[in-house]
Chains A and B, each alone.
Chain A
Amino acid sequence: MSNPANLKYTASHEWVRSEADGTISIGITQHAQELLGDMVFVETPAVGRKLKAKEECAVVESVKAAADVYAPVSGEVTAVNGELNNAPEAINTDPYAAWMFRMKPDNAADLSALMDAAAYQAVVDSEAH
C-alpha cells in the first residue's frame, strides 16, 4: 500500500488530512501499523483539549508494543473516532481510513511544514537500514 498523495505526513508516522471545514484528521501510517502489528487498544485525546505541535496526545497499543501518537501541529481537538475503541483492528486493515482524532489548527500555515508522500517515503526507506 502506498502513501496517498493527498495527505501530509510527520516523521513520527502520523498522516494528516485537511477537511473541508478547516479541521484536520490524524491517523497513523501504513508503515507504523505494519511495524506495530495487530492493534489491541486505542486511546484518543479528549475533545476540547489544546495541543502543542509534537505533544503526545494519543496511544496505540498492539500485541507487540504501545506507541505514542503526536499532534502534528498546534491546535484544539474537535472530534475523536469512537469506533476505534471497539474495532482498533481498523487501523491495521485500512490505516488511511481509520482516523483517530480531528483538530482545528491554531495556524493553518503550520500544515505546509509537514511532509508530502514522497518525503515521508524517504524517511521510511532510511529507517529500513
Chain B
Amino acid sequence: MLIFERSHPGRRNAAQAPHHSAAASGIPAALLRQDQPLLPEASEMDVVRHYTRLSQKNFSIDTHFYPLGSCTMKYNPRACNTLAMLPNFLARHPLAPEATGQGMLACLYDLQEILKDVTGMAGVSLMPMAGAQGEFAGIAMIRAYHEARGDTARTEIIVPDAAHGTNPATAVMCGYTVKEIPTDANGDVDLDALRAATGPQTAGLMLTNPSTLGVFEKQIQAIQKIVHDAGGLLYYDGANLNAILGKVKPGDMGFDVIHMNLHKTFSTPHGGGGPGAGAVGVAQRLLPFLPLPVVAKQDETYRYLTEKDLPQSIGHLSAFSGNIGILLRAYVYARMLGAEGMHRVAEFATLNANYLMAELHKAGFTVAFPQRRASHEFIVSMKPLKDATGISAMDVAKRLLDKGFHPPTTYFPMLVPECLLIEPTETESKETLDAFVAALKEIRDEAHATPELVKGAPHTMPARRLDDVKAARELDLAWKTPA
C-alpha cells in the first residue's frame, strides 16, 4: 500500500507543513500554480506508522545476513552516516563559491588520493553517479584516447562470457561492437580465444578480476600483454575489488582504467536503486580524458578543474559534483579503516568466503571450482539437488527467506547451472556463517522429506512467491490517481 492510498481529504500534519508563504519566496504571482498539488493528505501518526511498517517489511543488511554474490552487501558503519550528515555538509549549496567550501573539497580531494593509492592509478574522478555510469565513463575515455590519436579503426570491445551484463551494454552504449570470449574449465579467460579475438580492430578488453566465477584471474599478466600488444586498452570492472582491496592494485596488473563501486567496496548504502557512486581511476595516458569536475589542490587551496584545465575531458556526467553525500560516506569509511584496515577488509572478506565454501563443500554441496581458492565469493550449484528432488536453486533461495537469510544471487553467472553466487563479506561473524550453513542443510533435508514446503516458500514473508513473468511483462511502476 502506498502513502497516497492512505490519504483522507482534510487530514493535516501542521508541524511538517512548509513555513514560508509563496509571497515571501519572491516568486512572481503569474508563475504560481493555481491548483493544489496532488499530495497525500495524512496525519503525522498515519505517516509514521506507514513508513515504520514499510521498514519492518524490509529485508536489509541492518536486519539480516545478505550474502548477495557480486553485490558486496557489507555493513554500513553508522559513523559514516553521522559525519556525512553534519549540518554544514547538508546545507551547502552546489553553486556556493569554492572559497566557502574548502572543507568539503578537501574531503573529496583526499578521497581521490586514497582511491589512487589503493588502486595504483594515476588519477581519479569521483563524478560518475553509479557503477553503470562509471563503466560508461571508462569506455568513453578509451574511445576518446583512440580518437585523439587518430586511431579510429578500433571498433570492438572484448568481453569474457563470465562478465556482468553491464559490460557488453556499456560497450554498445559507447558505439562499440562486443566480441565475447569463452572461459576455460578452471574459470579463467581462454587465452587462445583471446589471442584469436584480438587485433587492430580491438579498442579494449573489459575484465572483472576476481571474476564473477569467484576466482582470481591468474593469467592477468599474459592477458594484459596480448591486449596491449594489439594496441587495445584494459578496463577493470571494480565489482569485485573488495577481494583484493589494498593487496593487489589494478594499476600494477596493467589496467588502464577502472571503475569502483563505492556503494560496494567502500560500504556506502547499497540497494533500492541508489544513490550509488562509481568513481573512475585512470593510468597516466588517460589523465587528460577524466570526467569533470576533478578536485585539484594548488598551494593550500582546493578547486574544481574545468574544461579549461582538461580540454580533452569526456565532459560532465551530471549537473553538479556527483553524489556528494555518498562520496563523503566513502571518505569517512576509508579514513576510519586506513591503509592497514583496507588490507584487513580483503583478508576477512576472502577468509569468510573460503570458510563458508569449505564448510558447504564438507556438508556435501557442489562447489563450482573446488580446486580453486575462492576470492570474496564462490558458486554452489544446486543441480544435484534439482536432479534428485526437483527443488531448484530458486526454491532454495525462497526458503532461505523463511530461515532469516537474504538469498544469495541466483542463476548468475549463467555458466554454472542452478547456481547460487555467495558473498558473505568481511563484516559477518563465524556464528552467522555457521547458521547459514545449517540453514542450507535443513533446506536440503526438507527438499527430500517435504519438497512441497520448499516449493511453496516463502511462508513467513509479507509477500509470497511473486509472479515474475507478469511483473516483467506488465510493468507497473507509476501510481495513478484513481479515476
List the one stretch of A9-17, A35-43, A76-84, A93-101 in contact with chain B: A35-43
Complex Cα distance, B469 from A64, in Å, reads 10
Nearest Cβ distance between residue A124 and chain B, in whole angstroms?
Answer: 12
Complex Cα distance, B418 from A35, in Å, reads 9
Within 8 Å of chain B (Cβ to Cβ): is A53? no
Complex Cα distance, B165 from A63, in Å, reads 15
Is the CB–CB distance between A40 and B411 below 8 Å?
no
Q: A64-B411, A65-B411 are in contact. Are A35 and B469 (CB under 8 A)?
A: no
Is the CB–CB distance between A40 and B414 below 8 Å?
no
Complex Cα distance, B417 from A65, in Å, reads 13
- Report B-chain residues with C-beta under 8 Å of the C-beta of A61: 472
Question: How many contacts between A and B, using CB within 8 angstroms?
Answer: 21
Write out, one digit per residue, whether chain B residues 411-439 have a CB within 8 A of any chain A CB (1) or not (0).
10010010000000000000000000000
Q: Which residues of chain A in 70-129 are interfacial with respect to chain B, using CB atoms and an 8 Å cutoff?
A: 89, 128
Nearest Cβ distance between residue A115 and chain B, in whole angstroms?
Answer: 19
Write out, one digit per residue, whether chain B residues 461-476 have a CB within 8 A of any chain A CB (1) or not (0).
0000000110011000
- Report B-chain residues with C-beta under 8 Å of the C-beta of A39: 469
- Report B-chain residues with C-beta under 8 Å of the C-beta of A128: 417
Is the CB–CB distance between A35 and B417 below 8 Å?
yes
Complex Cα distance, B466 from A63, in Å, reads 12
Is the CB–CB distance between A63 and B468 below 8 Å?
yes
- Report B-chain residues with C-beta under 8 Å of the C-beta of A64: 411, 414
Residue in B417, B468, B473 whose Cβ sees the most chain A Cβ within 10 Å? B473
Identify the closest chain A residue to B413 (Cβ): A65
Nearest Cβ distance between residue A37 and chain B, in whole angstroms?
Answer: 8
Complex Cα distance, B172 from A100, in Å, reads 25
Nearest Cβ distance between residue B390 and chain A, in whole angstroms?
Answer: 13
Complex Cα distance, B473 from A89, in Å, reads 11
- Report A-chain residues with C-beta under 8 Å of the C-beta of B468: 38, 63
Identify the closest chain B residue to A39 (Cβ): B469
Is the CB–CB distance between B411 and A38 below 8 Å?
no
Identify the closest chain B residue to A40 (Cβ): B472
- Report A-chain residues with C-beta under 8 Å of the C-beta of B417: 35, 128
Is the CB–CB distance between B472 and A63 below 8 Å?
yes
Complex Cα distance, B473 from A38, in Å, reads 11
Nearest Cβ distance between residue B243 and chain A, in whole angstroms?
Answer: 25
Complex Cα distance, B267 from A106, in Å, reads 56
Write out, one digit per residue, whether chain B residues 75-111 have a CB within 8 A of any chain A CB (1) or not (0).
0000000000000000000000000000000000000
Is the CB–CB distance between B469 and A63 below 8 Å?
yes
Q: Which residues of chain A in 41-71 are interfacial with respect to chain B, using CB atoms and an 8 Å cutoff?
A: 41, 61, 63-66
The 5 listed contacts between A and B (C-beta, < 8 Å) are A38-B468, A41-B472, A63-B469, A64-B411, A128-B417
3 pairs of A and B residues whose beta carbons are closest in the complex: A40-B472, A63-B468, A38-B469
**A-B contacts besides A40-B469, A128-B417, 6 pairs, CB < 8 Å:** A40-B472, A41-B473, A61-B472, A63-B472, A66-B165, A89-B469
